[in-house]
């Protein structure tokens, strides 16, 4: 991977050298990014991104437009005034200021899916999109300012160490998590395989916090879940379109097929998307070879059609696809292609509504930049930006059903496959 370098600009004051070394990084992040490689999905929102295998040769890249005249001087002025006048000078962190400048520049584009991602977040996303990471193996959330274990993953170090859902992590290796962001906490908890992390745990029903040592290991994300339901109905859930999605999905489909199911429920609820090639491959498990999955329109190129490339394992079994407002991007490609070709019935709630493709770039300091490079269209010509897919059968859980753990969408899907209505 090659990046440009800054040459010695000649005699200048020390202040200007410092400013240029920092501020030019903020101004030129977009340009540097065009030379970088593939990054990872922004897990805080829906995304569809290019994997290396989907990139195809295109026309020569247009010349990079130089920043407007006087831009560097303007940032120089802002930097100088902040350092001369801000009431708490120790709070001025140079790298944070540069990242803020980059984020502000990208935000000014006005596209919510073209974003700058700081290094810590980028590293976590990169690991997750590969389908595995090194750590304790537990999903966590920030609730009322505290890091809470949502659930330990199956066969994980956290589960083996006795970590339970609902546990609050107060500290990591003797350092308090008070005031830390969720990303900062995750970074502290994760670590190399074989190392040990000591978590200070607060648990309901236990008077005093206690320390739990956990030996980190390589943890595979739960990309696919599957089981057999009543009535001979197979259930398969895909959580994201990461690098191992197709392989794990095929394993699940082979397993449930061995039990001769009468129907199949494919659950894409809460799936935020992922790699474009994975969306095409996953759709191909349910649609005949050669079927059109989507058409992509990219700047400076002729429209490109994506068709099913192989022979799927579930192209004939009666099919229901579960969707909701968290089903986005790659999930919408798969659900939309199944709908448009009359292959299955969609049940649930209207999907997220995102019809664009992002190209991720890893930048020199470990941060990343996602740039919207194309829009995609379903086989019937729909672009879903801002609209989403309305399912054939709409079922919205009530607050009471959510609190009780009931799943009326899944119940409706089972009834539909058994009774045909």
Range list of β-strands (E), 216-324: 217-220, 224-229, 233-238, 263-267, 273-275, 292-298, 304-307, 319-323
Contacts with 61 (C-beta within 8 Å, 6 or more apart), sequence order? 34
* Radius of gyration of the chain from its Cα atoms, rounded to whole angstroms: 24
Q: Which of 126, 267, 281, 340 is catalytic?
A: 340
Of the residues 354, 356, 367, 368, only one is catalytic, namely 354
Residues 6+ apart with CB under 8 A from 336: 294, 378, 379, 382, 384, 389
Dist CA 249 CA 238 (whole Å) = 7
Of 314, 294, 303, nearest in space to 226 by CA: 314
329 is catalytic: yes
Which of left, alpha, beta for 49 (phi over 0: left; psi -120 to 50: alpha)? Answer: beta
How far, in Å, CA of 388 to CA of 352, rounded? 5
Q: End-to-end distance of the chain based on CA atoms, in angstroms?
A: 55
- The residues assigned a catalytic role are 329, 340, 354
């Amino acid at each position: 991977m090659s990046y440009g370098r800054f040459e010695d600009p000649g005699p200048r004051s020390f202040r200007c050298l410092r400013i240029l070394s920092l501020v030019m990084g903020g101004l030129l992040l977009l340009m540097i990014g065009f030379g970088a490689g593939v990054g990872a999905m922004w897990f805080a929102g829906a995304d569809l991104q290019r994997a290396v295998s989907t990139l195809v040769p295109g026309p020569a890249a247009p010349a990079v437009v130089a920043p407007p005249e006087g831009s560097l001087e303007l940032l120089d002025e802002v930097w100088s005034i902040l350092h001369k006048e801000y009431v708490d000078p120790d709070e001025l962190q140079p790298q944070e200021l540069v990242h803020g400048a980059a984020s502000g520049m990208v935000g000014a584009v006005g596209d919510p899916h073209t974003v700058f991602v700081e290094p810590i977040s980028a590293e976590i996303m990169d690991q997750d999109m590969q389908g595995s990471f090194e750590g304790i193996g537990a999903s966590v959330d920030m609730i009322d300012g505290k890091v809470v274990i949502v659930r330990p993953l199956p066969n994980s170090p956290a589960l083996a160490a006795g970590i339970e859902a609902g546990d609050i992590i107060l500290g990591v290796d003797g350092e308090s998590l008070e005031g830390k962001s969720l990303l900062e906490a995750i970074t502290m908890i994760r670590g190399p395989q074989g190392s040990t992390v000591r978590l200070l745990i607060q648990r309901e029903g236990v008077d005093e916090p206690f320390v739990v040592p956990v030996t980190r290991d390589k943890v595979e994300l739960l990309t696919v879940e599957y089981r057999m339901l009543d009535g001979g109905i197979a259930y398969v859930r895909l959580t994201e379109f990461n690098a191992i999605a197709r392989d794990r999905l095929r394993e699940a489909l082979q397993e449930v097929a061995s039990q001769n199911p009468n129907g199949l429920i494919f659950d894409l609820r809460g799936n935020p998307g992922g790699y474009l090639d994975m969306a095409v491959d996953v759709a191909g498990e349910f649609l005949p070879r050669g079927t059109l999955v989507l058409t992509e329109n990219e700047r400076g190129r002729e429209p490109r059609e994506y068709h099913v490339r192989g022979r799927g394992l579930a192209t004939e079994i009666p099919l229901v696809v579960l969707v909701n407002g968290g089903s986005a991007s790659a999930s919408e490609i798969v659900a939309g292609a199944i709908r448009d070709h009359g292959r299955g019935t969609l049940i649930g709630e209207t999907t997220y509504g995102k019809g664009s493709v992002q190209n991720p770039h890893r930048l020199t300091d470990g941060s990343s930049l996602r740039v919207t490079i194309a829009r995609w269209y379903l086989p019937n010509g729909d672009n879903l930006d801002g609209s989403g897919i309305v399912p054939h059968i709409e079922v919205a859980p009530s607050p009471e059903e959510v609190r009780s753990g009931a799943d009326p969408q899944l119940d409706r899907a089972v009834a539909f496959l058994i009774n045909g209505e």
